[in-house]
Amino acid sequence: MELHDIISIRDLSKSKINHILKVSEDMEKHGARKNKYLDGKILATLFFEPSTRTRLSFETAMGRMGGSSIGFSESGTTSTSKGESLKDTIRTVESYADAIVIRHPQEGSARLAANVASVPVINAGDGSNQHPTQTLLDLYTIKRETGALKKNIALIGDLKYGRTAHSLAYALSMFGAKMTFISPKGLEMPEEVITDLAKFNTKIEETNDLEGSIPGLDVLYVTRIQKERFPDPEEYEKVKGAYKITLKTLESAKKNSIILHPLPRVDEIAPEVDATKHARYFKQVHYGLPVRMALLGLVMGALD
Amino acid sequence: MKGVKVKRIENGTVIDHITGGQALNVLQIIGVHKEYPKAVLTVAMNVPSKKMGTKDIVKIEGRELKAVEVDKISLISPNSSINIIRDFEVKEKKDVSLPKTVEGVLKCDNPNCITNFEATKTLFAVEEISPLKLRCSFCERTMSEREIIKQF
Ligand SMILES: [Zn+2]
């Protein structure tokens, strides 16, 4: 399959996504055993803002496939390294690497990098825009844990600013999932995103009521609600309580419904929920590895 | 054009079949108020048209349009026709058409878009025609007609 860059979920067709998920499953079957698909290949991980989890996941995936990684991670939240343009950084790095993973605070940076680079580029987060490998691993987890993508799926929490929620909603719409958007007042899914989903004829419900929605759901995808989104700290405390998943919230949940979270969590999910069989968020992290192995293999032409 | 008397021009441009109500935005694009404050202009708005219901017409004396201006006009009035007049005669006639993508003409409205930090040509995909909606190919945000016109 022709797959050169992974920049945005919007670039991927349904059949391409299905294929990626299929290859991911093959990679999962390899387990922790090392393979040789990317023997001698070098991956550059360029983290213009820190994200230890994502970087470790990519570097581990590369190692599992017999390749190695080079790169940097900037500690600050400020942009571009030492005033050098992103274009120049990419042109320099591509002479050492067979593929580039980039995380950058500005929206569109990964697209720009892909336009400049001749080697494949994978977007590991461009500002508040896209983080397609997260979306793909979310899809993989839902499919793997429930058997399908066409399910009753709720996105819960801050849907206004959460890029994870926007991309996932887009991808799930392609697959005909029925979606419920559950968020506190003021943090609802932006109108723009909903208009955009209309082209897929998706069934969408919007509500502020978490408890009332629980019984119909197969998947609860919980996202962080950040304190800094609220001008009034008291308001935050109130909202935080109302959207927290606890054992009590789950009393009316379907027996085999599952809970996902892109992690790290703050306290959207009570720790005692971890022991229930609904909790799949650590499995979700685990699935990041086969999905990133599949993507690395595909973009570098070692898998097809 | 019944009932509307417009003097013929010697040299200049006649932009016809402008989407009804968009003439003032066309003037904005051409920069008549800034760069050509003394331009001799004739503007007709909401003229009955068999084809379009209503249309606007703009005539500018002594001035031909630049390519970038034609590109911008195509965005807000995709059915316009542009007639270049020399010695009272139509020397060139071109119908503008709405492109699928818009390259380099506009600036992205998202302040955190990489195109506002790095020297690079902007690129937008035309997502809707009326009202106009463009999507930045870099940051993927959309711009509405109102936001776009503000840039002219
Ligand atoms: Zn942009």
Average predicted confidence (pLDDT) for chain A: 94
**Are both A118 and A154 inside the same structural domain?**
no
Whether B28 and B149 have beta carbons less than 8 Å apart is answered as yes
CA B10/CA B89 separation, integer angstroms: 8
Measured between CB atoms, which of A87, A130, A192 is closest to B142? A192
Whether residue A35 lies inside any domain: the answer is yes
CA A178/CA A162 separation, integer angstroms: 19
Cβ of residue B110 closer than 8 Å to a chain A Cβ: yes
Confidence (pLDDT) at B6: 58
> What is the DSSP track for B42-88?
EEEEEEEETTTEEEEEEEEET----HHHHHHHHHH-TT-EEEEEETT
What is the span of the domain harbouring residue A118? 9-130+288-299
Tens digit of each residue's pLDDT (9 = 90 or more) over A132-186: 999 999 999 999 999 999 999 999 999 998 899 999 999 999 999 999 999 999 8
The answer, yes or no, to whether residue B80 has pLDDT greater than 60, is yes
**Are both A53 and A167 inside the same structural domain?**
no
With a pLDDT cut of 70, the percent of chain B lying above it is: 95
Whether residue A1 lies inside any domain: the answer is no
Tens digit of each residue's pLDDT (9 = 90 or more) over B1-29: 454 555 688 999 999 999 999 999 999 99
Report the CATH number that the domain containing residue A118 is assigned in CATH. Answer: 3.40.50.1370
Cβ of residue B141 closer than 8 Å to a chain A Cβ: yes
Chain A residues near residue B137 by CB distance under 8 angstroms: 108, 111
To the nearest whole Å, the CA of B111 is away from the closest chain A CA by 9
B contact test, residue of A121, A129, A170, A199 with most B CBs within 10 A: A129
Whether residue A214 lies inside any domain: the answer is yes
Whether residue A304 lies inside any domain: the answer is no
In which residue are the tokens 């996932």 written?
A168
**Are both A89 and A193 inside the same structural domain?**
no
pLDDT band at B38; cut points 50, 70, 90: confident
Whether A172 and A146 have beta carbons less than 8 Å apart is answered as no
**Are both A277 and A294 inside the same structural domain?**
no
Cβ of residue B136 closer than 8 Å to a chain A Cβ: yes
Confidence (pLDDT) at A146: 98
**Are both A148 and A97 inside the same structural domain?**
no
Q: Which of B14, B94, B19 is nearest to B49 (CA)?
A: B19
pLDDT band at A77; cut points 50, 70, 90: very low
Beta-bridge partners for A205: A180
Confidence (pLDDT) at B141: 96
Chain A residues near residue B120 by CB distance under 8 angstroms: 87, 112, 115
Cβ of residue B101 closer than 8 Å to a chain A Cβ: no
- Mapping DSSP onto H, E and C, the string for A205-272 reads EEECCHHHHHHHCCEEEECCCCHHHCCCHHHHHHHHHHCCECCCHHHHCCCCCEEECCCCCCCCECHH
Average pLDDT on A206-211 reads 95
By CB atoms closer than 10 A (0-12, 13-18, 19+), residue A112 is buried
Average pLDDT on A193-220 reads 95
CA A151/CA A142 separation, integer angstroms: 9
To the nearest whole Å, the CA of A10 is away from the closest chain B CA by 9
To the nearest whole Å, the CA of A256 is away from the closest chain B CA by 36
Q: Which residue of B has its CA nearest to A167?
A: B140
Measured between CB atoms, which of A107, A112, A192 is closest to B112? A107
With a pLDDT cut of 90, the percent of chain B lying above it is: 70
**Are both A241 and A125 inside the same structural domain?**
no
Give the count of domains, chain A.
2
**Are both A88 and A185 inside the same structural domain?**
no
Q: Which residue of B has its CA nearest to A199?
A: B127
Q: Which residue of B has its CA nearest to A10?
A: B140
Measured between CB atoms, which of A106, A130, A192 is closest to B114? A106
B100 Cα to the center of ligand 1, angstroms: 17
Residue A127, both tokens: 């500002």
The answer, yes or no, to whether residue A80 has pLDDT greater than 80, is no
Confidence (pLDDT) at B17: 95
Tens digit of each residue's pLDDT (9 = 90 or more) over A218-265: 999 999 988 888 888 888 888 888 899 999 999 999 999 999 999 999
**Sign of the CA dihedral with A90 first, then A96, A100, and A102 last:** negative
CA A65/CA A294 separation, integer angstroms: 10
Tens digit of each residue's pLDDT (9 = 90 or more) over A92-105: 999 999 999 999 99
Residues 6+ apart with CB under 8 A from A109: A48, A86, A102, A126, A127, B114
pLDDT band at A82; cut points 50, 70, 90: low
Residue B130, both tokens: 């009326």
Whether residue A4 lies inside any domain: the answer is no
**Are both A27 and A151 inside the same structural domain?**
no
Whether residue A3 lies inside any domain: the answer is no
**Are both A70 and A161 inside the same structural domain?**
no
**Are both A222 and A100 inside the same structural domain?**
no
**Are both A92 and A236 inside the same structural domain?**
no
pTM: 0.91
B contact test, residue of A107, A128, A167, A199 with most B CBs within 10 A: A107
Average pLDDT on B38-61 reads 92
Tens digit of each residue's pLDDT (9 = 90 or more) over B114-129: 999 999 999 999 999 8
Cβ of residue B125 closer than 8 Å to a chain A Cβ: no
**Are both A118 and A192 inside the same structural domain?**
no
Whether residue A2 lies inside any domain: the answer is no
CA A272/CA A45 separation, integer angstroms: 36
